[in-house]
């Protein structure tokens, strides 16, 4: 029967796995990492708080997509909290942590990252359902959206707690990983592969959205004298989709690959030298999400600017129709299920045909 080491401090596991990281986390490198981390965390707190407040304040955002967007902002806000906790429990402090405190540190990170990823997937599926049914808004009720949000956090919390619940190497030192000294290598393989699969699914969903909208726009444009802005819609949509996918690939893939290599026990991959930079890169995803999903929306940006400037809401702007509702298609106050096809033919969607990007860009 294997001996378990629940009462040991983390220095025991770092030494057993030959993970010598204390010296690397001291001096100028540690200061640079902490400075960048602090700046990014502050931006995450401020920007995502503004997104949540904008969705709550502006009644035009009271639709399923924007509820999910607010939940994504909440997940990224939680990611900022997780990174702050990490900054105060890393470097030389790492080896002094108890097992439970180290589990908490990593569990917060796993929970926040999983919540952001699953939320992005749910948003992609929601947009896919709406467009494939030729509707501007999905048929999700508030109860269903609430259920989805609760499910997202339940999955995220569960994934963050799995190692604590038993999938660890406290009773099998030979199975410990190098990056996470009390995580089992098999769990790292499972977690990284699972996230890469979800990422692949999301890529496929957005590609289908783009191809469908492009094909539909081309078919309908041959039967109507659309504006130049409408004809440029596929190009603008492609830029938006490429921004979303590119940001996710750059921020997530390197870290997931490093975790996978560690889980596969690659001793010659030099993963210890790049782990902290890939962690910061993953943090950047939470920084970029409010920019990509919110600031490209004219009314969202206007709402946040009004809150920042503490100015009164302009009633004339409330009466003005929004040009860009989301990263895929426009917003409407009509909840009866307007059809995209009818909107394109009549030239009433997205500022008479502008389905993506700024109206005059």
> pLDDT truncated to tens, each residue of the chain (361 aa)?
567 878 888 888 888 766 655 455 566 767 777 787 788 889 889 988 988 998 888 888 888 878 888 998 899 899 889 989 988 887 778 888 889 999 999 999 899 888 988 887 888 887 777 777 666 556 778 888 999 999 999 999 999 999 999 899 888 888 888 888 889 999 999 999 998 888 888 888 878 877 877 777 777 666 555 554 444 544 454 555 567 667 777 888 888 888 888 888 877 777 777 777 787 788 788 888 778 766 666 777 788 888 888 644 444 445 444 444 444 444 444 443 443 434 433 333 334 334 344 444 3
Query: Dihedrals φ, ψ of 183, to 5°?
Result: -95, 140
Vertex 125 angle, CA 119 and 130, to 5°: 130
CATH code of domain 8-13+22-220+232-307 = 1.20.1070.10
Q: What is the pLDDT of residue 221?
A: 62
- Rg, Å, the chain Cα set: 23
- 3-state SS, one letter per residue, for the chain: CCCCCCCCEHHHHHHHCCCCCCHHHCCHHHHHHHHHHHHHHHHHHHHHHHHHHHHHHCHHHCCHHHHHHHHHHHHHHHHHHHHHHHHCCCHHHHHHCEHHHHHHHHHHHHHHHHHHHHHHHHHHHHHHHHHHCCECCCCCCHHHHHHHHHHHHHHHHHHHHHHHHCCECCCCHHHECCCCCCEEHHHHHHHHHHHHHHHHHHHHHHHHHHHHHHHHHHHHHCCCCCCHHHHCHHHHHHHHHHHHHHHHHHHHHHHHHHHHHHHCCCCCCCHHHCHHHHHHHHHHHHHHHHHHHHHCCHHHHHHHHHHHHCCCCCHHHHHCCCCCCCCCCCCCCCCCCCEHHHHHHHCCCHHHHCCCCCCCC
Q: What is residue 337's predicted lDDT score, i.e. its pLDDT?
A: 41
pLDDT value for 239? 59
Rounded-to-integer distance, Cα 179 and Cα 269, Å: 12
Burial of 227 (0-12, 13-18, 19+ CB in 10 A): middle
Closest to 188 measured CA to CA, from 121, 265, 114, 249: 265
CA-to-CA distance for 331 and 321, rounded, in angstroms? Answer: 9
Residue 281's contacts (CB-CB under 8 Å, 6 or more residues apart) are 250, 251, 254, 255
Burial of 35 (0-12, 13-18, 19+ CB in 10 A): exposed
Predicted structure pTM score: 0.77
C-alpha 66/C-alpha 46 separation (Å) is 18
Predicted pLDDT of residue 81: 92
Q: How distant, in Å, are the alpha carbons of 43, 225, 358, 359, 360 from that of 232?
A: 33, 13, 11, 11, 11
Q: How many CA atoms lie within 13 A of 139 on its CB side?
A: 5
Q: Where along the chain do its domains lie? A: 8-13+22-220+232-307
């Amino acid at each position: 029967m294997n001996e378990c080491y629940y009462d040991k401090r983390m220095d025991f596991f770092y030494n057993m796995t030959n993970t010598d990281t204390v010296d690397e986390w001291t001096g100028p490198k540690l200061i640079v990492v902490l400075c960048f981390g602090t700046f990014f965390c502050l931006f995450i707190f401020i920007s995502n708080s503004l997104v949540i407040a904008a969705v709550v304040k502006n009644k035009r955002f009271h639709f399923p997509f924007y509820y999910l967007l607010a939940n994504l902002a909440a997940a990224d806000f939680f990611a900022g909290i997780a990174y702050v906790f990490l900054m105060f429990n890393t470097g030389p402090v790492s080896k002094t942590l108890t097992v439970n405190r180290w589990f908490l540190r990593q569990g917060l990170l796993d929970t926040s990252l999983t919540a952001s990823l699953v939320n992005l997937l749910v948003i992609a599926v929601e947009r896919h359902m709406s467009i494939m049914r030729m509707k501007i808004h999905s048929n999700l009720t508030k109860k269903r959206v609430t259920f989805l949000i609760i499910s997202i956090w339940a999955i995220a919390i569960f994934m963050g707690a799995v190692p604590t619940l038993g999938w660890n190497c406290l009773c099998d030192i030979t199975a410990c990983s190098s990056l996470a000294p009390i995580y089992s290598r098999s769990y790292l393989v499972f977690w990284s592969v699972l996230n890469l699969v979800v990422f692949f699914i999301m890529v496929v969903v957005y590609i289908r959205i783009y191809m469908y909208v492009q094909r539909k726009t081309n078919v309908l444009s041959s039967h109507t004298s659309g504006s130049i802005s409408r004809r440029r819609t596929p190009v603008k949509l492609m830029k938006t989709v490429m921004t979303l996918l590119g940001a996710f690939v750059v921020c997530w893939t390197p870290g997931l690959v490093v975790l996978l290599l560690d889980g596969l026990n690659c001793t010659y991959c030099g993963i210890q030298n790049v782990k902290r930079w890939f962690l910061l890169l993953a943090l950047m995803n939470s920084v970029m999400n409010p920019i990509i999903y919110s600031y490209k929306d004219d009314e969202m940006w206007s709402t946040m600017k009004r809150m920042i400037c503490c100015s009164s809401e302009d009633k004339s702007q409330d009466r003005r129709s929004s040009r860009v509702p989301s990263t895929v298609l426009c917003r409407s106050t009509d909840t009866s299920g307007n059809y995209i096809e009818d909107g394109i033919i009549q030239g009433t969607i997205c500022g008479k045909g502008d389905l993506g990007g700024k109206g005059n860009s």
